[in-house]
Amino acid sequence: MNNFDLIIVGGGVAGSFSALLAAMNGLRVCVVEASNYPNGATSRSGGVVTRMLDNRFDRRLSKLTVDIFNKFIRCDCLKYGYLCIEDEKYAFADIRNYREEIPDIRVLGSDEVIDRWGFLRLYGDEVGLYAPSDFTVDPESLLIYLWNRIQDLGCEILRGHRVIKIVSMGNRVRFIELANGSRIIGDNYFLCAGPWNKFLIESIGIKWRTWLLGIPIFKFMLRGDYDLVGVWDEYIYSYWRPGDHSLIGGVYDAFDISEPSQGFARPSMQNVNNVVEGFKYRFNFDEWKLVKGWSGPISITKNYRPVFDAVDGFSNLYVIDGLGGRGLMRGPAVAYLLLKKIGIGVSI
């Protein structure tokens, strides 16, 4: 097959943004994606892009991601505005930390929150931290948009093809082999397959220290018209994004998995009970119904930081991994930073 400047394994958020930014820089890019349509970890994710994060490193990554979205993405699958509910004493401490990355953030008193979003319940000294420029996104629609966009830029996407082998000579990858027996040759290779990276890298004899988890997510349908907003609930550690007359989200009920397919398991009854309890605690919609639940796999590193670097011992094999369930916040930023590391710069 044609020799490409960059071959990307995985068409999720990290792979698709890597392809977009590289193709915009004039590179010949090929994306190899195991699914025929968005059906991997990204498409099953929570869909939150916020800079309201405790870790400054993550805040800076998320700020870069917001800048990338604002410059390059024109998609109606984004809904701006994100609200964090927490105790007043923490809110005023947090806003001082967040303001550098989120200039438009402000504290809303409980009365102001309820006046604007009457479907919310606040208790005691709770207030809202509101960032109009943070947003939520329908991840499946975003991937469809990105795939179309990168194809328009001349990027080739091989859908429904699984990589089974990485073949190297010395410190360089020579080609990757697909399940159908075909080989793809490139100058550089990005592994952006999320939890599947672990097995691709270990197949070339390198121990890859990431741990895999499954994360349940749920969809609640709502009767009536509401001015919905994305919500992070600091008290019960839940997150929500607005859909079409719906809220999608969950509480942090991660479960251990040993291989990625286990991360797509149906949520347990305990997961269901926990999310319903959390939903009823925070919202007071007149009529609602839990209509769907699913899970998605994530990979985490020992220090919970993402990896975006060359694979040890190789000069043309790179990996983006350990996004830790924050792929939409971390993925675009680390794709940009990894391309910059190898000399492919895009102006932001």
- Are the C-beta atoms of 266 and 117 separated by less than 8 Å? no
For residue 124, what are the contacts with CB-CB under 8 A and spacing of at least 6? 87
Please state, in angstroms and rounded to a whole number, the distance separating the CA atoms of residues 269 and 168.
46
Average pLDDT of the chain is 96
* CATH numbers and ranges of domains, the chain: 1-77+138-209+303-348 (3.50.50.60), 79-134+211-300 (3.30.9.10)
The predicted pLDDT at position 103 comes to 97
In tens, the pLDDT along 79-136 reads 999 999 999 999 999 999 999 999 999 999 999 999 999 999 999 999 999 999 999 9
The predicted pLDDT at position 66 comes to 98
In tens, the pLDDT along 223-279 reads 999 999 999 999 999 999 999 999 999 998 999 999 999 999 999 999 999 999 999
Count of other CB atoms within 10 angstroms of residue 24: 17
Confidence grade of residue 345 (pLDDT, cut at 50, 70, 90): confident
- Are the C-beta atoms of 137 and 73 separated by less than 8 Å? no
Confidence grade of residue 2 (pLDDT, cut at 50, 70, 90): low
Phi-psi category of residue 290: left, alpha or beta, with phi > 0 → left and psi -120 to 50 → alpha: beta
- Are the C-beta atoms of 241 and 229 separated by less than 8 Å? no
Of how many residues is the chain composed? 348
In tens, the pLDDT along 3-61 reads 899 999 999 999 999 999 999 999 999 999 999 999 999 999 999 999 999 999 999 99
220 membership: H or E segment, kind and range: strand 211-222
Residue bearing tokens 């291989």: 259
In tens, the pLDDT along 187-214 reads 999 999 999 999 999 999 999 999 999 9
278 membership: H or E segment, kind and range: helix 269-282
